[in-house]
Amino acid sequence: MTAVDWEAVRDEAVQYLQDLLRIDTSNPPGNERAAAEYLAEILAREGIAPRLIEPAPRRTSLIARLPGRGERGPILLQGHTDVVPADPAEWSHPPFAGDIADGCLWGRGALDMKGTVVMQLMALLLVRRTGLRPRGDVIFAALADEEAGGRLGAGWLVDHVPELVRAEVALGEVGGFTLHVGGHRFYPVQVAEKVGCRLTVTVRGDSGHGSQPVRDGAMAKAGAVLTALTRERLPLHVTPVAEAFIRALARAEPGLLGLLDPAREGQVLAELGKDARMFEAILHNTAVPTMISGGSAANVVPGSVRITVDGRLLPGQTAADFLREVRALIGDEAEIEVQHTPSHTEAPRDAFFAQFQEIVEEFDPGAMVVPYLLSGITDARFFARLGTPTYGFAPVKLPPGMPFWTLFHGADERIPLEGLLTGSRALYRVLERY
């Protein structure tokens, strides 16, 4: 097979990612067509036939497939090209400029997840260029609409053209970033994720003229609900994946074992500072208020206020379980509407998972791969309906102090240039072994 010039691969990947970051695919409205067409041009130049699928105007996904030896089912490399909106005023570099500074490529989507899409693209191109023939086909899917629920992307494909994306195993987002703990380096690989359960909480009270205070009205009740949800935690639930993750990290930082003890967890979280967010989210159902609405005029006391709550359930928890926990915090007076679609995805920690450790050690000797429960939700839940387990594996070697989680959906999102190369090499290694 042809040898790989990895320095040239890095430069090529950087150029592709720069170009993708400069295509604004903020969702809403999405407009992923331009990104899909850009990727299609690259694939066509390499002799790979892309297929563009557009269930709604400009909401375009791309599918491409390279044939393997037919000895096992396909492997799916799946990522999304839409991104969450970005306020340029909050950024050190414009979010859609694709600037290079401080050894990083800056822009909305650098981590979530155009960077991963480019890593997957480079792995696919290298399979083509080197003449590699994995035991199964390689499917590359650049998907629309993940940030708004995936109904026009992965969900539509699974429902209408499942034969295009059905695979034996899939690789997706949020896994393989460097986590520095106690002087050691860990690489979490997502094997499970939480489930969304959105609540609309409505509180009611007397309306009236704004010149006369209403002390026990809807506004006061909404304030009490917001205070309870933002100050109190729901009960601790230790899932097997979360326990394995924490016990692995505790080899370097034994104090983390306190997170598994209801009597000690609160104190340990307090000591962790901002790092506590990640641990709290994988040990609890969460109910985070995100929007509030009510009132019709500045001089009218509203008779009702609605609060939108972004709920996330741990594996094994039901909407009824969640509702009981929320009621215990906010009481029974509020009206609660529940929007919940049960879904569960968990990939096995088997021989396929074990190879991630071997691959990570190639570029970061001494680092350890650990299973991870994602606090958010991804397109993996759609592919799970086809029986496809998905691993979050897009390795990015990060320097100590780089705030991976706060960059996701946050300002100054960026990816180290060498991290982009690391991920491309790692995904190619997976395909070599497949």
Q: What is the mean pLDDT of residues 328-345?
A: 94
Radius of gyration of the chain, Cα coordinates, nearest whole angstrom:
23
Q: Select from 340, 368, 399 the last residue of a domain.
A: 340
Q: Give the pLDDT confidence score for residue 406 in this predicted structure.
A: 83
Q: Give the pLDDT confidence score for residue 405 in this predicted structure.
A: 80
349 lies in some domain: no
Q: By the 8 A CB rule, do 154 and 142 touch?
A: no
Contacts of residue 355, defined as CB under 8 A and 6 or more positions apart, other chains included, come to 430, 433
Q: By the 8 A CB rule, do 144 and 152 touch?
A: yes
Please report where in the chains the tokens 């006391």 appear, as a residue.
Answer: 301
Tell whether the model's pLDDT for residue 274 goes beyond 70. Answer: yes
Q: What is the mean pLDDT of residues 41-57?
A: 98
412 lies in some domain: yes
SS (H, E, C) 397-421: CCCCCCCHHHHCCCCCCEEEHHHHH
SS3 41: helix
Phi-psi region of 353 (alpha: psi -120 to 50; beta: other; left: phi over 0): alpha
Identify whether residues 53 and 149 lie together within a single domain.
yes
Identify whether residues 38 and 151 lie together within a single domain.
yes
Residue 196: both structure tokens together: 């969304």
Please report where in the chains the tokens 């958010």 appear, as a residue.
Answer: 376
Q: Are strands 335-340 and 195-204 parallel, antiparallel or unpaired?
A: antiparallel
Q: Which of 124-138, 203-217, 391-405 has the lowest mean pLDDT?
A: 391-405
Q: Give the pLDDT confidence score for residue 1 in this predicted structure.
A: 63
| Tally of domains in the chain | 2
Which CATH number does the domain housing residue 290 bear? 3.30.70.360
Q: What is the mean pLDDT of residues 363-388?
A: 96
Identify whether residues 322 and 404 lie together within a single domain.
no
Identify whether residues 241 and 303 lie together within a single domain.
yes
Tell whether the model's pLDDT for residue 20 goes beyond 90. Answer: yes
pLDDT band at 326 (very low <50, low <70, confident <90, very high): very high
Measured from the Cβ of residue 109, the count of other Cβ atoms closer than 10 Å reads 31
Q: What is the mean pLDDT of residues 403-416?
A: 90
At 373, the amino acid letter reads L
Identify whether residues 162 and 290 lie together within a single domain.
no
Q: What is the mean pLDDT of residues 51-67?
A: 98
Q: What is the mean pLDDT of residues 283-295?
A: 97
Q: Select from 340, 364, 387 the last residue of a domain.
A: 340
Contacts of residue 28, defined as CB under 8 A and 6 or more positions apart, other chains included, come to 85, 148
Contacts of residue 52, defined as CB under 8 A and 6 or more positions apart, other chains included, come to 33, 36, 37, 40, 60, 61, 62
231 lies in some domain: yes
User: Within 13 Å and on the Cβ side, how many CA atoms surround 163?
Assistant: 0
Distance, C-alpha 82 to centroid of its chain: 12
At 38, the amino acid letter reads Y
What strands, in cross-sheet order, belong to the sheet with 414-416?
Answer: 100-101, 104-106, 414-416
Q: Give the pLDDT confidence score for residue 236 in this predicted structure.
A: 98
Q: What are phi and psi of 402, to 5 degrees?
A: -80, 120
Q: Give the pLDDT confidence score for residue 133 in this predicted structure.
A: 97
Identify whether residues 404 and 285 lie together within a single domain.
no
Q: Give the pLDDT confidence score for residue 175 in this predicted structure.
A: 87
Identify whether residues 101 and 49 lie together within a single domain.
yes
368 lies in some domain: no
Q: What are phi and psi of 127, to 5 degrees?
A: -60, -45
Q: Are strands 300-301 and 208-209 parallel, antiparallel or unpaired?
A: antiparallel
Q: What is the mean pLDDT of residues 362-373?
A: 96
Identify whether residues 388 and 248 lie together within a single domain.
no
User: Within 13 Å and on the Cβ side, how many CA atoms surround 152?
Assistant: 21
59 lies in some domain: yes
Q: What is the DSSP string of 52-76?
A: EEEEETTEEEEEEEE---SSS--EE
Q: 83: which DSSP letter?
A: B
Q: Give the pLDDT confidence score for residue 403 in this predicted structure.
A: 80
Q: What is the mean pLDDT of residues 144-169?
A: 97
Identify whether residues 205 and 313 lie together within a single domain.
yes
Tell whether the model's pLDDT for residue 95 goes beyond 70. Answer: yes
Identify whether residues 170 and 44 lie together within a single domain.
yes
The candidate with the shortest Cα–Cα distance to 402, out of 417, 418, 392, 416, is 416
Which CATH number does the domain housing residue 134 bear? 3.40.630.10
312 lies in some domain: yes
Identify whether residues 25 and 165 lie together within a single domain.
yes
SS (H, E, C) 332-391: CCCEEEEEECCCCCECCCCHHHHHHHHHHHHHCCCCEEEEEEECCCCCHHHHHCCCCCEE
Identify whether residues 152 and 271 lie together within a single domain.
no
**Percent of the chain residues topping a pLDDT of 90:** 95
SS3 31: coil
At 388, the amino acid letter reads T
Q: Give the pLDDT confidence score for residue 289 in this predicted structure.
A: 98
363 lies in some domain: no
**Percent of the chain residues topping a pLDDT of 70:** 100
Boundaries of domain holding 160: 6-174+378-433
415 lies in some domain: yes
Q: What is the mean pLDDT of residues 318-333?
A: 97
pLDDT tens, position by position, 177-197 = 999 999 999 999 999 999 999
Q: Select from 290, 324, 340 the last residue of a domain.
A: 340
Residue 228: both structure tokens together: 């309870």
